[in-house]
Structure 1
Amino acid sequence: MSLPEGFLELYAGADRQGPGTTSDVVWALNESGLSGRIKVLDAGCGTGADSWTLAQALPEAQIEAVDTAAPFVEAAQARLRAFGPQVTVREGDMAGAPGPYDLIWCAGALYFLGVTEGLRAWREALEPGGWVAFSHPVHLSDSPSAAARAFWQGEGEIGTVEDLRARVAGAGYALRGERMLVGAPWKAYYDALRAAISEARATGRAAVLAPAIEGAETEIARWEAARDEIAYALMLVQPE
């Protein structure tokens, strides 16, 4: 996938690189019952927002965060340094993480591997009884509006929640919990992105980052046009 010039710099300045909240992480931990001296992978960690929440919620756990984008990794390392050896952050391929992990958390990044393909790849990286929690784009109906289709233009085939459940089952996993991310998590994400754009302008970086800023503002406008239809489904699953 080709990224506009300046994309990584702009998005590394945002608090998150996709929609989600601390309550989503807490929900997954409460539903799974995970605690104590466990090992967790934050796959596609971005700048480490969810790694921070995981480390706070699981003070005895070992958190490993991985991302392919060097600017995100650098930002995550700086952000998570306060946790010391409890959290390690590295640049790498999330599909090849060796494990074994009690939980693989993946906010908005499994999309790049493919749901079925990614879940199959992670099966051997899970402890017996291990969990995967991931968020993925979905349409809220079989007949999305033109505005909703325009938002996801160029992002490949986006199905319904029922389609996503079928992909989970096709990978040999059982669905243990489901939570929809609509409205507020997206607004918070785009508010942070707007703040990163404002910072770029205030520091004289807007000209250099112009292609990325233009793309981000187009995305925000498309979300505004269909905000009640734009959703992620957060799935909590286990191998069968």
Structure 2
Amino acid sequence: MDELELLVDLHRSGQRQGPGGSKETRRALEMTGLAQARGLRVADIGCGTGSASLLLAEWLDAEIVAVDLFPEFLAELNDRARTRGFSERIRTLEASMDALPFAADEFDLIWSEGAIYNMGFEAGHQAWRRFLKPGGMLVVSEITWLTAERPPALQAHWEREYPEIDTASAKVAQLERHGYRPEAYFVLPPDGWLTNYYEPLEASFEAFLERNAHSESARNIVEAERREIALYRRYRDFYSYGFYIASRID
């Protein structure tokens, strides 16, 4: 397997492929004002194995298009949707988030937890805006600085990994410049990183290494994940995911 295939193998059995939590998904949904609406059209972009898609199917009267680049993740989501009785509510679509085959003004709600960074926050919300109906809602979670200053080692790490990391005020200003009205914002708490994501991921490392014969590439991936986890445990007061809820304006 190449590195990308190994990463998919590591993450495909996880309930989620990044930090988050059902309480936070519910909180963000309530902030959209759409929880009681009927007949919604929803896109979950970068859905992974569908943690958010399944919750939205449970809580909304909606047709959901769950989009991901990796068919292995979508196969897991389809299995989980069948088990929970949501096959008629969730349609999976294998596509790149920067080449989506959607029509203008198609969706009431675009959702993306922990995935917009693959395009970049600004490029992502600019590209997706046209798929929203006027007044439609955007919900994304995005890596965000929690303080005006941070330790140099942490700053250097994120400048390498994701140069678009910034404060919430800067992210909100981007939304305002590109045709959105910010409606709400909140920070993902530590249990969304540790209890819901990093600790289950750590528990999967040994089985992952065994499946892949403890190859050098597999060991390198595990070590990289361990460094990321250690970084968060040390510096979690300085960064997290922020949930950004905004509406399209014209």
1:88 corresponds in structure 2 to: 91
Residue 31 of structure 2 aligns to a residue whose secondary structure is helix
User: Over residues 155-182 of structure 1, what are the superposed CA-to-partner deviations in whole Å (9 max), with x where a residue is unaligned?
Assistant: 2231111111111112121100111113
Match of 2:53 in 1: 51
Q: How much does 1:206 deviate? A: 5.7
Counterpart AA for 1:13: S
> Which residue of the partner structure matches residue 136 of structure 1?
142
Q: Is the 8 A contact 2:44 2:67 kept in 1?
A: yes
Aligned partner of 2:154 among 129, 148, 164: 148
Is contact 2:43–2:66 with CA below 8 Å preserved after alignment? yes
What amino acid maps onto 2:246 in structure 1?
A: V
Aligned residues: 237
The percentage of aligned residue pairs carrying the same residue is 31
Secondary structure of the structure 2 residue equivalent to 1:84: coil
Shift of 1:4: 6.0
Give how far 1:3 is off: 5.0
Q: Deviation at 1:70?
A: 2.5
**What's 1:177 paired with?**
184
Aligned pairs for 1:1-240 (under 5 A) are: 6-34=6-34, 35-58=37-60, 60-82=61-83, 83-95=86-98, 96-99=100-103, 100-149=106-155, 151-152=157-158, 153-187=160-194, 188-201=196-209, 203-205=210-212, 207-208=214-215, 209-240=218-249
Shift of 1:204: 4.0
TM superposition outliers: structure 1 runs of 4+ over 3 Å? 2-5, 203-206
Unpaired runs of 5+ residues, structure 2, are: none
- Contact in 1 for aligned 2:146/2:237 (Cα 8 Å): no
Amino acid at match of 2:82: R
Structure 1 stretch 167-176 or stretch 3-12: which is displaced more?
A: 3-12
Over the aligned positions, Cα root-mean-square deviation in angstroms equals: 2.0
- Normalised to the residue count of structure 1, the TM-score between the two structures is 0.90
Cα separation, 2, equivalents of 1:140 and 1:151: 16
The structure-2 alpha-carbon separation of the partners of 1:168 and 1:80, relative to structure 1 and needing over 3 Å to count, comes to same
Report if aligned partners of 1:151, 1:223 keep a CA contact under 8 Å in 2: no
SS of the counterpart of 1:207? coil
Mapped to 2, the partners of 1:183 and 1:150 lie a distance apart of 22
* Unmatched segments (≥5 aa) in structure 1: none
